[in-house]
Chains A and B, each alone.
Chain A
């Protein structure tokens, strides 16, 4: 007790008052916040509390299907069940993970990584943990409803791609949107876990194909069990797309290229519709539709042959002798090549270094230079043109520029010029370098698609087109308008080529596939088909390096072929690239197979071998101008065009007999029916009901439309 010396001392009243006011202030501050939350914010917080109890169960929109140009199904969907983990309930999911991993056959670490990945996502969003689960795994989830209430299954539509990597590079694949993508403003409307198109059409047209997911809003209790149902927001399926691809030709191209490392592009040069697009090696896009496992993925991305690369638009390689077509255009348009008659002694070396030619061609002019692919001729032509003129023509026709195809990641290739060298190497252009460029070597690089567009355009007399794989008429207005901005390129251009020059070049290309001495692709000859083209052999390393290393498959030259049919104003241009393929007549044969598949199909369609039932003959009247029917329908003569008329017995679309020839009455019949007669050299039969009944002498069954 003695130690307590403070008896009688008192606390300062001032200090106690300070404390009292301090506590009062504190209580008022707390009450003030309560007022803010409970009186002012009550409405808002009641809503939030309500949302706590509403769970959104997603209804996933089926992706749009892909059809070929003849409306044959290429990419479909199939129903599948996915397992999701719902974090709504306030329970420690981590403890359940080992059981979940075992039951669903997932790697535990991978599962934990998935959960970490979604930590930042809003709580109501379910985490996809396994896709396309089996019936056994579904049974596991059903039987563990009580232990694992956080597991939820969702029915969805999953992508079904053609087998064996058919058109895989063209179509692309789908996968979960990646974290980097989510940071990209282009993916502003995507949530983690969303499926997104990657590569090919799936990527370009993802916005249309994906549709709009819906949801079922259900009320859950504190355990996350569904106790009530609020509303359904239906999913909007993605838009189906019709591609310009012809499934038959795609098949032919896939088979023709086989397992060779390279690419094939087949395009209609009149309008830029891609009919077939193949790249090798291929991959199975179905492996991506369900999450691809790490080993398979690593195998795909580390493969030296780049299976995921669409070589038709991504591979930028020296075009080799296919560049000589452009050289010929430049030489002829500049009026130089016509008069060049040179002697090929097996090469040329005006600047000290001897440039080889494959053969000793002897006397060569422009007509032989293309089928012979005579390097000496083009060395000399290139030397006379100079790099500036070559580069001007090449750039004009699209070398070194993207074509603007509606596929992601197209490469521009490269067209060197004196300025280019000055800018990039700070060095002057040496005339000797022009000789390499003249035969498509040196720094020149092009993609197979570029070559198809350029050579197809030259064969069309300078009508160059923008390639595309989806018919634009089915696209929404704003999407269609945005496409040229999203995929910039040289697009549709007309560069008139002098008809004489055009004839020389296309005839030269025709000669390439004619079997004759020195012709580079005589073995790709197709009997009865107007088929031309140009081969190309591009060394992958210099002659010196080659002689040091010796011959092996890996340093074989890349070989090219670009073919057209028919030779002038072609309907089809095919570019074939075979990497390390050694001889350029190999890709020419591949191209020939595709060309013949195309021509055969067109002939089959033209002849329309569909059987027709035999019908009774029908009397029909017709009027036409120009042709004299006495010579029989379809025959041309030199008489001046005048209006004629007649009535015929028609059976199965064929005229079997002529009954009358009455120009006046036929013209009258036309005037009565108000139909305008049309037609040129060929007679156009116009049946009119009045005429048929008026002139019917025999039994009239029904008017059959003539073919």
Chain B
């Protein structure tokens, strides 16, 4: 049985998806090289290659463990995650940088629990709704799902990390949507969410002033031309200056001239768009679209509801991150510090994305197994 499954897994692995992912990663490495050429981050593309290699290995390992077993472990992992998130907030344990306490220091490595929580949440939410067996949701189900996602959200926003907190919401929304929420419940939920957002804004306790400033400067960048508004403006200038064909690799004046903030991480899409133009940017969007469609197709062919829910959780998180990051770069969204999956530099982001893809592969590999 075990031997048979192993043979199955290699054949059923989604090689097409992996090819598209690796193509994106290659573009990412080249752009990181270009964007860090004249900065103190020079050489980060090599580091990114190591992260990608590590991510690939983790993905294969993760795909090997049957996702049903993963779902069984999920509640324990959830507990560990809550514990880690709480530990981060304790001054002695949590490592503080740039005004936020987001990391746990383990030897020379900085470990950011909030990234891993995303993965665990995908599994926990999938498990929760799969257990309902596809019956229509009652009030208590919705409430429980909210508690499930709400607790880590509260812990992360305390760090503070508004961006990561927001990435948890698509997991919940995807779970509710595919878990079988009805129209009445969703209307009530949307109204409640709106009420909560207004309350959070005006109470002043949940959002820090700088977070508010970022959100308002998106609406009116002239309020803060040197802060977040400045970043947005420079990003738009970079994208626009790219034109149809781009300024050429390592030739973008915004990217090379340091006018673009962190061009290898959060604003890598701006750097890429400046140097490779409309053609390059649309090509990247097309790749993302193909990856997402491929994932949805995998969700459709999954063996059971829990598998489909896992993949749709992954799709929800990736879609949200792409929308928010690209939206920010081209002036649709406020600056939130959410990385672009598979493009932005960063170990945690790369590892999470590959593990999430690994979970999707996992489900696909076992689509005929029952």
Contacts and interface: CB of A to CB of B under 8 A. Distances in A.
A in complex with B: yes
Interface of A: 1, 3-13, 15-16, 19-20, 23-24, 26-27, 29-31, 33-35, 37-39, 41-42, 44-46, 48-50, 52-53, 87, 89-90, 119-120, 122-123, 221-223
B242 A23 contact: no
5 contacts: A4-B304, A7-B305, A12-B178, A20-B296, A30-B332
B115 to A, nearest CB: 23
B296 A16 contact: yes
Contacts of A8: 304
Given A27-B289, A34-B273, 4 more contacts: A9-B305, A31-B282, A42-B240, A49-B241
Nearest to A51: B237
Contacts of A123: 225-226, 230
B268 to A, nearest CB: 15
Contact of B133 (A9, A26, A44, A49): A9
B285 A90 contact: no
B319 A90 contact: no
A48 B241 contact: yes
Contact of A34 (B234, B303, B330, B370): B330
Contacts of A3: 72, 131
B277 interface: yes
Given A11-B308, A33-B330, A52 B237 contact: yes
A50 B323 CA distance: 29
A636 B36 CA distance: 101
A368 B39 CA distance: 94
Contacts of A37: 236, 239-240, 330-331
Given A6-B131, A52-B237, A222-B38, A11 B299 contact: yes
Majority-rule SS of B interface residues: helix
Given A11-B308, A89-B258, A38 B225 contact: no
B300 A16 contact: yes
B71 interface: yes
B241 A30 contact: no
A229 to B, nearest CB: 18
Interface string B246-290: 000000011011110100000000000100011001100110110
B172 interface: no
B130 A6 contact: yes
Nearest to A20: B296
Given A6-B133, A11-B305, A90-B258, A16 B177 contact: no
Contact of A4 (B71, B134, B225): B71
B265 to A, nearest CB: 15
A34 B278 contact: yes
Contacts of B256: 222
Given A38-B243, A42-B240, A49-B241, A221 B257 contact: yes
Nearest to B252: A49
B278 A20 contact: no
A27 B318 CA distance: 13
A695 B302 CA distance: 134
Q: Which 6 pairs across A and B sit closest by C-beta, in order of nearness?
A: A45-B240, A222-B258, A9-B305, A6-B305, A42-B243, A49-B241
B242 A38 contact: yes
A7 B133 CA distance: 8
A141 B302 CA distance: 68
Contacts of B288: 27
Contact of A23 (B130, B253, B292): B292
B335 to A, nearest CB: 15
A49 B253 contact: yes
Contact of B177 (A4, A15, A222): A15
B332 to A, nearest CB: 6
Interface in B124-154: 127, 130-134
B243 A39 contact: yes
Contacts of B241: 42, 45-46, 48-49
A27 B285 contact: yes
A16 B316 CA distance: 12
B25 interface: no
Nearest to A23: B292
Contacts of B226: 87, 119, 123
Contacts of B234: 52
A45 B246 CA distance: 12
Contact of B239 (A1, A16, A23, A38): A38
Contact of A38 (B244, B254, B258, B289): B244
Contacts of A119: 226
Interface in B54-81: 68, 71-72
A116 to B, nearest CB: 11
Contacts of A42: 240-244
Given A23-B319, A30-B285, A39-B243, A15 B178 contact: yes
Interface string B308-322: 110010010001000
B132 to A, nearest CB: 8
Contacts of A44: 240
Given A27-B289, A123-B225, A222 B239 contact: no
A31 B239 CA distance: 12
A221 B288 CA distance: 35
B306 interface: yes
Given A4-B306, A6-B306, A49-B238, A38 B131 contact: no
A1 B304 contact: no
Contacts of B332: 29-30, 33
B253 A52 contact: yes
A391 to B, nearest CB: 56
B178 A11 contact: yes
Contacts of B289: 23-24, 27
Contacts of B123: none
A123 B242 CA distance: 23
Contacts of B131: 3-6
B326 interface: yes
Contacts of A120: 225
Given A6-B304, A34-B278, A26 B240 contact: no
